[in-house]
Structure 1
Amino acid sequence: MSEFVRLEVEDGVATLRLDRPKMNALDVQVQEEIRAAAREATDRDDVRAVVLYGGERLFAAGADVKEMADMSHTDMVKRSGDLISALSAVARIPKPVVAAITGYALGGGCELALCADVRFAADDATLGQPEVLLGIIPGAGGTQRLSRLVGPSRAKDLIFTGRFVKADEALAIGLVDRLFPRDEVYREAVAWASQFSHAASYAVRAAKEAIDRGLEVDLETGLEIERQQFAALFATEDRAIGMGSFVENGPGKARFVGR
């Protein structure tokens, strides 16, 4: 049983919920529990989308600094891949993932949010990569995912200075996608995720893989990835259902009613 990370599934939506007092710090145990929850969300057929959530008070305030402060260079060489692999397991979930951000999402917490496909935030949320203020840099994808999301200049500004970003600025620069009052963020994230409960799951997975893999390669290679995913869908029931609905109902009225 996980102590600090739970996967709660209802009507096709899994909530990957962090619950480690007081600040949802991502220590070694939490990292392993995140990795396990991400694998479970990936493997379960009854999970069609995932919500990342840290609770009403905050998302996650980052790695456990007290734990890291006692680590030597040798220790960190051995352990530096643990947080990366935990967060990458979330990024690799082949289903839509939305982060519901309340309070603080700092350091490793911000990096966890970056692993989602979209980010909904409370209008009083605060995000940032303040690692430089501790004499280190983001070590779990911040320098890579943040620059891909908001552009290298903005990422450098945030990472070099370590400054905190309020919700309105985060929305303006594309760090988050939508803002809501704090008590509505989780509900809105679940509503977004729920639309995939009966969607064309193979098509959604293929689209996510094509986009994510395409960001890592040149355009020509990306187009080939897209072509392969596109062609593969013609062997699925989803394609038969979707195109059958289009033929029967016409454009604008077709509805996918899948498994």
Structure 2
Amino acid sequence: MITVTRDGAVLRLMLDRPARRNALGTEGGRALDAALVAADRDETVKAIVLAGAPPAFCAGSDLKELGGLSIPAMCDHEAITAAVARRIALLAKPVVCAVEGYALGGGFILAVSCDVVVTAADATWRLPEVANGWLPPWGLQALIARVGPVRARMLVWGAEPIDGREAHRLGVADLLAPEGGALARATAYATALAALPAEAVTSAKRFFEPLAAHDAERLDAAASRAFAQDCRGPAAAATLARFTVKA
């Protein structure tokens, strides 16, 4: 589920389920959480890079896994990934995300939950949840912190996908890389962070954490309640029927 490699003081965590487009399942979410915790506790690691195995960063939730779940069980499933995304803000080490291919749904939100986001210019970013009939059930505070509430609302509606250039212009991503260059750019930036005094890097991250992640757990709970309610509507029911979700 997660491939771990080392480049000096930088640890690279790779979502590695290419057959499922690196979709987020329960096992993978727990594996990512464990890898993040281990990296944060390793004193020789100074920065973390999060990426996805080709062809994409992450396609969002694993709909095959969700297919047999009731709506309450779906909420519990999504809460696992929500907790992993919130943990990123609480780590002492900076996490730099590299997005190639596409970041969809939960993959989009996982990416923007990282401290620094690098996107390839041709990457596709989209939140398809509203088109499916429901509100994204977690991570919206991370998006609001990056782009503000008005742009966040537009992106959550997801009426049109955006590419990496537009993601960078809007503030969804911090750094823009050429096609195929996001991982190299993210690694270079993480290496630069790793060369700085570690205690000062951590202090900067912790100072800004309350501002970037303000009230995130409560907002996730509110979004999850809206998600559960939306899933009982006709549009969501039609979407969920394709995956045999039991209401």
TM-score by length of 1: 0.77
Which deviations, in whole Å up to 9, do the C-alpha atoms of 1:45-88 show, x marking residues without a partner? 11100111103421001011122232112313433421111222
Which position in structure 2 is the counterpart of 1:61?
59
Alignment of 1:54-93 (within 5 A): 54-93=52-91
Q: TM-score under structure 2 normalisation?
A: 0.81
Helix, strand or coil at the partner of 1:196: helix
Q: Which aligned pairs between 1:123-202 and structure 2 lie closer than 5 A?
A: 123-141=121-139, 143-202=140-199
Cα drift, residue 166 of structure 1: 1.1
1:57 aligned counterpart, secondary structure: coil
SS class of match (2:181):
helix
CA-CA distance at 1:216 after TM superposition: 5.4
Contact 1:121 1:180 in 2 (8 A): yes
2:18 and 2:54 in contact (8 A); partners too: no
Aligned equivalents of 1:162, 1:137: Cα separation in 2:
13
Q: Distance in 2 between matches of 1:185 and 1:45?
A: 26
Highest Rg: 1 or 2? 1
Runs of 4+, deviation exceeding 4 Å: none
Secondary structure, counterpart of 2:61 in structure 1: coil
Letter of the 2:37 partner, please give it. R
Q: State the alpha-carbon separation in 1 of the partners of residues 213 and 76 from structure 2.
A: 26
Which one has more relative contact order, counting CA pairs under 8 Å at least 6 apart? 2
Q: 1:119: which partner in 2?
A: 117
Distance 2:137 2:106 in 1: 8
The match for 2:27 among 16, 26, 29 is: 29
Amino acid at match of 2:134: I
- CA-based RMSD of the aligned residues comes to 1.8
The aligned residue for residue 15 of structure 2 is 18
Change in 2 beyond 3 A, CA 1:40/1:124 = same
Q: What one-letter code is carried by the residue in structure 2 that aligns with 1:21? A: P
Give 1:226's aligned residue.
none
Cross-structure match for 2:208? 211
Name 1:223's counterpart in structure 2: none
Alpha carbons of structure 1 residues 197 and 144: separation in structure 2 relative to 1, 3 Å: closer
Flag structure 2 segments of 5+ consecutive residues without an equivalent: 215-247
Please report how far the alpha carbon of residue 33 of structure 1 lies from its aligned counterpart in structure 2 after TM superposition. Answer: 0.6
SS in 2 for 1:183: coil
Letter in 1 for 2:144: S
Any conservation in 2 of the 1:55–1:102 contact (CA below 8 Å)? no
> SS state of the match for residue 173, structure 2?
coil
Q: In 1, distance between residues paired with 2:96 and 2:155?
A: 22
> What SS does structure 1 have at the residue aligned with 2:180?
helix
In 2: Cα distance, 1:36 partner to 1:118 partner: 20
> Structure 1 CA distance, aligned partners of 2:75 and 2:94?
33
Question: What is the alpha-carbon distance in structure 2 between the residues aligned to residue 169 and residue 121 of structure 1?
Answer: 10
Structure 1: unaligned runs, 5 residues or longer:
218-259
Q: Counterpart of 1:82 in structure 2: which amino acid?
A: I
Taking the aligned partners of 2:184 and 2:72, their CA distance within structure 1 comes to 44
Letter in 1 for 2:146: L
1:95 aligned to 93, 96, 101, which one? Answer: 93
Structure 2 counterpart of 1:110, one-letter code:
F
For 2:94 and 2:127, locate their aligned partners in 1 and report how far apart those are by CA, in whole Å.
24
Give percent identity, aligned residues only: 34
Determine helix, strand or coil for the equivalent of 2:74: helix
